[in-house]
Amino acid sequence: MRRAVNKFMNNNKKTTFILQLTAMVDMFTILIVFLLKSFSTSSVQITPQAGLSLPTSTNTGSPVEAVKLVVSSEGVFVENDKVAVIKDGKLIVSDLDPNDQSFVRPLFERLDQEAKKSREIASINSEHKFDGKIVMQADKNLAYEVLQKVMYTSSMAGYADLNFATISFE
Amino acid sequence: MGKRQSKVLRPNDDEASFELDLSPMLSLMVTLIPIMLLAAEFTRITVINTALPQVVEKAIQKDVKNKDKSAKISLKLFNNKSILVNVKPYGGAMRNIRIAASGDTWDLDKFHETMFRLKSQHPKKFSLDVLPDAKVKYDDIVKVLDEARTTRKEEAKFQITDPETKETAETNLMFPEVTFSNILEG
């Protein structure tokens, strides 16, 4: 009996569970190759606004650091703050100046505030300059008349260098 | 004397295999993947730079300084999807080239051919004035600008000679600089 027990114990040696890492390494390799292709070293990253359809373009211009202006089908946003309302693809009448139908007063006031802030910083910090740049994300289905009013108002506020954000068509 | 069974020593076949230690490689990948995920850009955003029309005095100064007096080219985009290309050569007569719509869409192929021809005639000209109608969609404007910006892959590139260094370079750029001229009209 004892011999049989000893034999049983000797045959059933302790085994360790060896983790198979090959499949996991394969998966990681594929992930890394994919992420390498999407890797971006640009210091400026523009995040498209949710619900906004940007137009596609063959343009290759790099994004610049500038005031963020979004013109969507719902309204006009400056640095994520809603300043004007768009209804049925047009700016509402109450946001337009009665003497100048192309002038969007709330947008002008907000941009003017940004410009003043920038100029104040420029007066203290010699490395910073007010360059009047804006990066505009606009919905592709909007008519030019809305953009024309926004651009006109921007130029009145001192922002004459407009950059239209588009999705790169590759 | 009994025969002693000799034990033939066979080499242990298990010891001949080489087991690759994947732990360092896995550590590297576990470090790399979060870094790359944070820096990944799944939709590439590019920008089209446009300049708004300058005030009158600045425009005059720019025109005076402007050494390229080849021509002034402007595009008028209509609500009915037709395009009018206006060419005013410096010291020459103005001419209009109308590109009618192709069905209910823009005839971008014909438009591109026209811009390519104009670029061949005025190789030093890189700027355009664009005057879209009020109801023209933003997406359509971008498509038209794309057709005017660069040559297509199958087309020849343009030779540019630097007047100071006399170096010649090739470029596929046609009219990358765009100005929306009717902004200040209101």
pLDDT in tens, B101-140: 998 899 999 999 999 999 998 888 888 899 999 999 999 9
**Cβ A148–B183 below 8 Å, yes or no?**
yes
Question: Residue for token digits 């025109």?
Answer: B63
Report the range out of A54-58, B14-18, B138-142 with the highest average pLDDT.
Answer: B138-142
Among the partner residues B45, B149, B186, nearest to A167 by beta-carbon distance: B45
Cβ–Cβ contact B108 with A under 8 A = no
Say if residue B84's pLDDT is above 90. yes
CA B186 to chain centre: 30
Taking residues A60-84, report their average pLDDT.
Answer: 89
Cα separation, A39 vs A35, whole angstroms: 6
Sign of CA dihedral B58, B63, B68, B73: positive
Three-point CA angle B30, B32, B35, nearest 5° = 115
Mean pLDDT of the region B158-182: 81
Residue B154: strand, helix, or coil: coil
Q: Which of B26, B54, B186 sits opposite A152 (nearest CB)?
A: B186
* Predicted pLDDT of residue B57: 43
Q: Quote the percentage of chain B above a pLDDT of 90.
A: 31
**Euclidean distance between the first and the last CA atom of chain A, given in angstroms as a whole number:** 78
Whole-angstrom distance, CA of residue A40 vs CA of residue B36: 9
Cβ-contact B143, B108 below 8 angstroms: yes
Asked if the ipTM is above 0.90, the reply is no
Strand partners, B50: A162, B178
DSSP state of A109: H
Reported as a pLDDT band with limits 50, 70 and 90, residue B73 is: very high
**pLDDT over 50 at B60, yes or no:** no
- Distance in Å, alpha carbon of B90 to nearest chain A alpha carbon: 27
Task: Tell me: pLDDT of B2 over 60.
Answer: no
Instruction: Determine if the pTM surpasses 0.90.
Output: no
* Mean residue pLDDT across chain B: 80
How much is the average pLDDT of B23-41?
Answer: 86
pLDDT band at B56 (very low <50, low <70, confident <90, very high): very low
Amino acid present at B185: E
Residue B85 predicted with pLDDT over 80: yes
What is the model's pLDDT at position B66?
Answer: 60
Nearest Cβ partner of A151 from B43, B133, B183?
Answer: B183
- Copy the structure tokens of residue B25: 């490689």
What per-residue confidence (pLDDT) applies to B45?
83
What pLDDT is attached to residue B69? 60
Q: Which amino acid is at A117?
A: K
The model's confidence at residue A111, banded by pLDDT at 50, 70 and 90, is very high
Residues of chain A contacting residue B50, judged by C-beta atoms under 8 Å apart? 162-164
| pLDDT bucket at A12, cuts 50 / 70 / 90 | low
Compute the average pLDDT of residues A58-73. 86
The pLDDT of residue B155: 77
Q: Which of A36, A58, A149 to mutate to test the interface with B (most CBs of B within 10 A)?
A: A58
Q: What is the mean pLDDT of chain A?
A: 86
Contact (CB<8Å) B142/A25: no
Residues 6+ apart with CB under 8 A from A161: A66, A131, A132, A133, A134, B49, B51, B52
Check residue B1 and give its pLDDT: 47
- Averaged over B9-19, what is the pLDDT? 57
Long-range contacts of B116-122 (CB under 8 A, 24+ apart): B116/B151, B116/B155, B116/B174, B118/B73, B118/B85, B118/B87, B119/B158, B119/B174, B119/B175, B120/B158, B122/B70, B122/B71, B122/B73, B122/B89
Of the listed ranges A19-23, A109-113, B174-178, the least confidently predicted one is A19-23
3-state DSSP assignment of residue B57: helix
Give the one of A63, A147, A152 whose C-beta lies nearest to B45's C-beta: A63
